[in-house]
Copies of this chain bind each other. A is one copy, B any other.
């Protein structure tokens, strides 16, 4: 294929067929999260069984993916969520988005259920699809699977794959992607999309972009100029430097300072041993221990932020890469664990199983409250990760997430919205983020609208709804562009509407509104809400758990008190 043609690639796993289709007109100004919402509304019955034949697994690169714009090559994965029962988009770094655009894949839509049980590797290239039985890979973790695939298909390919968790259809299973260094730890983690991929009988999808090339740019000079301005802004932004040095782990002290660090199953907002799991300590460990550790690592080619890290042990062996704040929060303080090495080991287990470390960390916190482990007892937590791997009943319930665990053991203090676990920002202390958790169509998720950096009183219920709305639109916009949320600092700091400049240069669009980011986000959330509404969601689902409105959170002894009437009005007029 000499000429770059962008098509929708439609795979049917029952017939093992691939059809290339022109991009429908109504899909043409969308990418990533927004495109997923459009496709799901157009093609999936919102009331279908998430693991049945009617659901579809979709990969969609964002609108700006394909050009190694710093931190802007993310892949959005979506479908009806096996965890929440609502719409789901989860995105990841790594290579998948970039390679798909180089192959001209506008969206990859995977349909139906396989004729027979078992797992396949789907190899996609410009020569068409190849289906191979995943013999020898089944039940292997992703760290063992990926090298075998790279050996077979060459190390230039991109790979999206699932671990044993996805094979078992666990509702915390995500879709792992290899990064620029071919490590399979870039997980589209949230909402159980790995279970959806498992239901389609796919252990891995290999994207071989040989013969492809960069997507066309309508006005190359204009694009280059905009890219330059943007890159400069990213590089110069003070936040980028913080992320480069400390990674997301820098948030540990910040959250603790706000009294918003989930501790012992969301029963406290401060952790007495926060110093032991902070970003500063993590950096210190990495620098002291030396290679192969690395405090500043990029997950995508061209990323100048490099918030990722490689965390190695005293023995000089890699424990996990990256170790992120949300994992530190959920598998560290939330479990009363104050050893970064232990958090890293738990994280590796979750990664290798292909599970969302937030969801599993929250489930373990609930399990601790149920008496399955003591807070602080990392060895038992590791043993429970082994139960997940073994597929025992206790393992399955933990692997199905915090809501399932709470239901099994009748624990009230379960930190979920729409059955999805909250991440490491306590909504009673950061109330704007609580509004986001409650009202985003995605289920509790900080990446849908984290408000912790706003210069306001986070304990005051006033104004949080407006703040959350703006932030949610921005985030949905970035997810539609394929931009990492940290790229947002750069985009926001670049003058002269750099997003408009990039989009119009890339596509030749001259009619973009000034507030394109907000518009993209708004239209995305509108579609997502429509899907959820058709799936049966109501205002009652846009709530934090009732106990958070009643149980005061130390140290501020605050409850979540943003009025329900305000929550109900957050998207007023969007339909």
Chain B binder among A69-77, A229-237, A390-398: A390-398
* Given the contacts A536-B540, A540-B47, A410 and B52 also touching, CB distance less than 8 Å: no
Is A37's beta carbon under 8 Å from chain B?
A: no
Question: Which residues of B have CB within 8 Å of A541?
Answer: 536
Q: Which of A249-257, A318-326, A400-408 contacts B (4 or more CB under 8 A)?
A: A400-408
Query: Is there an interface contact between A393 and B408, defined as CB atoms closer than 8 Å?
Result: yes
Among B394, B407, B538, B539, contact of A393 (Cβ-Cβ < 8 Å): B394
Contact between A546 and B400 (Cβ–Cβ < 8 Å)? no
CA A554 to CA B52, docked complex, whole Å: 21
Any chain B CB within 8 A of the CB of A49? yes
A501-550 interface with B by 8 A CB criterion: 534-536, 538-541, 543, 545-547
Near B by CB (< 8 A), chain A positions 158-212 give 168-169, 171, 195, 199
Q: CB-CB contacts of A273-286 with B at 8 A, as 1s and 0s?
A: 00000000000000
Q: Which residue of B lies closest to A538 (CB)?
A: B536
* Shortest Cβ gap from A411 to chain B (Å): 9
A48 within 8 A of B: yes
Query: Taking the nearest CB of chain B, how far is it from the CB of A401, in angstroms?
Result: 11
Interface band, chain A: 35 or more
Asked whether B393 lies within 8 Å of A546 as measured between CB atoms, the reply is no
Q: Which residues of B contact A195 (CB under 8 A)?
A: 410
Chain B residue numbers with a CB within 8 Å of A168 are 410
Inter-subunit contact B410/A546 (CB<8 Å)? no
A49 engages B412 (CB within 8 Å):
yes
Report B-chain residues with C-beta under 8 Å of the C-beta of A536: 538-541
Contacts of A407 in B (CB 8 A): 171, 400, 404
Chain B residues with CB below 8 A from A118, complex form: none
What separation, in Å, do the CA atoms of A39 and B404 have in the docked complex?
Answer: 30
Interface centre among A54, A195, A199, A397 (most CB of B within 10 A): A397
Q: Which of B52, B171, B199 contacts A547 (CB 8 A)?
A: B52
Contacting residues, chain B, for A45 (C-beta < 8 A):
546
Contact of A538 among B169, B171, B199, B538 (CB under 8 A): B538
Chain B residue at minimum C-beta to C-beta distance from A408: B396
- Confirm or deny: A424 has a beta carbon within 8 angstroms of a beta carbon on chain B: no
Interface members, chain A 364-396 (any B CB < 8 Å): 392-394, 396
A543 to B534, CA, bound (A): 13
| 15 intermolecular pairs with C-beta atoms under 8 Å apart | A47-B546, A49-B545, A49-B546, A52-B412, A52-B546, A52-B547, A171-B407, A392-B393, A393-B394, A393-B397, A397-B397, A400-B408, A404-B407, A535-B540, A536-B540
> Footprint of B on A, CB under 8 Å?
45, 47-49, 51-52, 54, 168-169, 171, 195, 199, 392-394, 396-397, 400, 404, 407-410, 412, 534-536, 538-541, 543, 545-547
Given known contacts A393-B397, A536-B539, what 8 new A-B pairs fall within 8 Å (CB)? A45-B546, A49-B412, A49-B546, A52-B412, A397-B397, A400-B407, A535-B540, A538-B538
Q: Which 8 A-B pairs have the closest CB atoms?
A: A536-B540, A393-B393, A169-B410, A393-B394, A536-B538, A396-B408, A49-B412, A52-B412
